[in-house]
Structure 1
Amino acid sequence: MVTASGGARMQEGALSLMQMVKTSQAIAMLDEAGILTMALVTDPTYGGVAASFATLPDVILAEPGARVGFAGPRVIEQTTGQQLPAGFQTAEFLLGQGLVDSVVPRPALRRTIARLLSAHEPKSRPQAAPEPAVPVITDPARLPERDGLAAVRLARHADRPTADEYATFMLEEFLELHGDRVSGDCPAIVGGIGLLHGRPVALIGHQKGRDTRERVQRNFGMASPSGYRKAARLMRLAAKLGLPVVTLIDTPGADPGIQAEERGQAWAIAENLRLMSALPVPVVVVITGEGGSGGALALGVGNRVLALSNAVYSVISPEGCAAILWKGPELTREDTVGRAAAALRLHARELLAYGIVDGVIAEPPDGAHTDPVQTMSLVRSVVAAAVRELADLDAARLVADRRQRFRRFGAPQGQLADNGDPR
């Protein structure tokens, strides 16, 4: 759909108003049919058009400078008596508010739309030959015992590959999508659609950033509620289109700030846990670095959960644990954090022993940061193999297996029936 309108036609009265429902129902019917919908909003797009079919599609693109909104600027100023800020209601403003996926100049539109369509309908494209499968480690004895604090430091190394680097390396035609369509576009979560060996997938990951400036801008990978809601929107899109979901975890935890709490951090995380548990498509999770608390788990409910060999995953950071348990002045901070890291059993060997992860991907011995290309190649191969394996399962089996996988944690051995229900 391409929109350019001042809104509903006043001269047609209530009959014009009713067209908002008619067009919105049409979008709903396309949703029910599992058909990808896309809107390109041009200048201007206002009123009843903006408040119906222009803003309901799965993907919303906007031309640079396009003005989009419900009430026009003249109406707002005359009604409220307020002077509008520069750039208000422009496409660039809406992108920052999480309301559109991308601002695309007209010369780039054909390429951008083609990439989205190719990800949705890849049948006409030649399928790439799968890479030789990389075996994952499933026996904890094959992994070295690790000092907890050393493992944490390796997992946090600033030069480990980031989510956007994985996305562009692993996927052909990757197109990042933005925004939660409610309140913002959290930069600590990146996600989009691309082709993994010719198979369309949705990829979502925590993004810490590369240098100090980007890390600050991305809040060190600590997502806000809008980040988790953006992830949820992309997962729902994947479910609608039947695309496997791949998530990459690398975060110290969810954003602990005041604004995040005001906007419902706990609610956003809880909703993702429920949503991922019921997704009718394959879900493959890889802990690529640091997995901290519920902020990590909000992307971690998968049919297959894997970890790099220098990754860590825990209910709380070692620093947080140490602050709670050891407060005495006789211990240094490093002593207490090291003690906490050991007690939390958070490195890959322990995670595999407890069944928290299904397999471990052996990254380069000195860490992923020493050979990012090799690391990303290993992850791509393992993820592609897992997606191929899960693609043969129907939706009911995928959901049942995923629920059973998580329900067994903490249950005495033999206390879960095959269907995941307690005996």
Structure 2
Amino acid sequence: MSTSARSATTALAYEDAPLTRFHIKVTVAGTGGQFSDGFILGIIGIVIAAATTSLGLAPLWIGLLGAATLVGLFLGAVVVGPIADRIGRRQIFAWDMLAFAVLSLVQFFVQTPGQLLVLRLLLGLVLGADYVVSKSLVTEHAPLRFRGRLMSLLAVAWAAGYVFAYLVGFLLAGQGEDAWRYMLAISAIPALLVFGFRLGVPEAPLWLSRHGRDAEAAAVVRRHLGPNVHPPTATPSANRRGTGALFSPAYRKRTAVGALFYVCQVIPFFALGTFSPQVMEALGVTSKLGAGALYNVFLLAGAIVGLLIIDKISRRLFLIGTFAAGGALLAALTAFADIGGPVISVSLFTAFAFVLAAAVNLEFVYPPELFPTDLRASGVGIAVAASRIGSAASTFLLPLVASGYGMGVALGGCVVVLFIGALVCWAWAPETSAESLDGIDARG
């Protein structure tokens, strides 16, 4: 058999390519922004507690600083999504971590709550941009069989950043009145480490092909996957669709599901995670830092378990099941906190953290699977932006509601949100685990 004949018989479609070192490199590069995001969102609660005296933080400033990065994430995601669909993902992906590192270091020098608030908003803008391009680019490079697990690595990185933040805060707490400055500035380190990985990541061949740049797409595939892998051959769009297409009859249900499931996950996740020491104290747990540490360990464990099962069960089952289980655990915590004692409270709270952290994998895997290539970054941007409205509002309101009406009312609100998420997914969520990106594009 000739060489050309052998090549023809062994040729693979782009999404059927075997997993290679290149795919791992792209995924590792994508984890940097997620680790950094987890870190700066996880550290702020500890920083607020440590800097209250130094910065003179009143309750209003505490709420604003807790929500600032989330507001920035909203703006970054909704603005950058359409830009990334038009100009590509690579350039933003390559350079945003450098901007993040610089802003992280500047936090060390703040003197007023207003200065820190501005920096947290800017950091959120950068991370909002990174959410959009990282999720889109890693999804578009990933082989179909490994897409869920590769995207779940981003979720594990986020959880690792969140847990690392708590560890850093725990170790630095009590090390002087300026310890909180080091807690904030240390987030520059992982951002700088991943920056080098990103410079060598090429544009996604699927995006190149969708924009009529087939020769460039073929060159990327040939260089990184070899001559036996066919580059994608998406038909270029004659009319560039804007964000409005996401609300057309063809996509509005997917857009709604992407936004609503994300909102219903992050409201309890960020509200309770950011203020976990305060939640533990209100539930009668005396060692609130120790309980918070256990909570964070279960967050990381849940993210890892979620990675292991993401491709073994349907997306719909994963979505509905984790919402229902999380809601049931939090309802039990609310109902039995006064009679069960600290051990029961901590057990239920950490079990809740485990379930919700496993579900966080879906925030990275599911939204990019809902949208075609020319709308993917915009669709992910809307989902992220919607989620950040919910998480910013919940992070701002939880301490106010808890102080005014009690922690039981705050927890009860989170239970309602989780059950709403289960109902929305049961009614509208499509199954996407076996759907190729080419197939999504072909549907229009």
Name the TM-score class by shorter chain.
under 0.3
Instruction: Flag the structure with higher strand content.
Output: 1
User: Normalising by structure 1, what TM-score?
Assistant: 0.27
Find the structure with the greater CA-based Rg.
1
